[in-house]
């Protein structure tokens, strides 16, 4: 386990495995690096170097209560952060919001990644989807935010055949994220960032 630092924010990061091609695993909204633990273990055993950081606010260290755009997360894995052991041309694998981070990172630092993999990620959203997300953000900022989030995550991010015990464990973890992280992260990924739309 190592620590990354960017703009005074310290973030936990798994950095292990062999000396082979590097893979950077970027978790999704209201998750943390542990959600990629099985993949990290498998890739490390296969001889790959694996880097799995926590994104801002998605760890025990609370993110400052601001409204970050998606670019606020990308520098977590940018070349300027992990100077001591910077991966060269890593494959960046992002899940959900992490996939958008990977996409944004590749756009900002085109020479950095060898490839990106986006899992369950949506780069382009219809106006209807953006409007619906805006309404969800308002409800997530309200007094019933945990119930709203549980309902949203349970019905939108899982499928009927998911293991119920595993589902409940993940729901508990995701719903324990600080309120400002839940809302500001979703707002940052739903609306404009520097003129670009997602």
Output the pLDDT for position 64: 46
pTM here is 0.80
pLDDT score at 57? 66
198 residues of the chain, pLDDT tens digit each:
676 666 666 777 888 888 888 999 999 999 999 999 999 999 999 999 999 988 876 654 444 444 444 444 554 554 444 444 566 789 999 999 899 889 988 998 899 899 999 999 887 777 787 788 888 999 999 999 999 999 999 999 999 999 999 999 999 999 988 888 888 888 877 654 433 332
**pLDDT at 83 (0 to 100):** 44
- Which pLDDT belongs to residue 55? 84
Q: Is 179 exposed, middle or buried (0-12, 13-18, 19+ CB in 10 A)?
A: middle
Residue 39: per-residue pLDDT = 95
Nearest Cα neighbor of 114 from 96, 94, 88 is 88
Distance CA 76, CA 49 (A): 17
CB count within 10 Å of CB 178 equals 14
């Amino acid at each position: 386990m190592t620590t990354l630092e960017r703009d005074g924010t310290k973030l936990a990061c798994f950095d292990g495995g062999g000396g082979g091609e590097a893979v950077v695993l970027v978790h999704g909204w209201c998750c943390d690096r542990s959600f990629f633990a099985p993949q990290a273990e498998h890739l490390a055993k296969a001889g790959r170097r694996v880097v799995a950081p926590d994104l801002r606010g998605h760890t025990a260290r609370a993110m400052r209560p601001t409204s970050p755009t998606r670019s606020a997360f990308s520098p977590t894995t940018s070349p300027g952060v992990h100077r001591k052991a910077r991966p060269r041309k890593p494959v960046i694998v992002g899940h959900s919001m992490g996939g958008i981070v990977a996409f944004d990172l590749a756009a900002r630092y085109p020479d950095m990644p060898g490839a990106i993999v986006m899992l369950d990620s949506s780069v382009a959203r219809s106006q209807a989807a953006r409007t619906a997300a805006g309404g969800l953000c308002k409800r997530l900022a309200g007094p019933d935010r945990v119930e709203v989030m549980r309902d949203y995550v349970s019905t939108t991010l899982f499928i009927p055949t998911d293991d119920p015990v595993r589902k409940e464990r993940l729901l508990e973890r995701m719903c324990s994220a600080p309120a400002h992280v839940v809302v500001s992260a979703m707002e940052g990924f739903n609306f404009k960032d520097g003129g670009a739309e997602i």
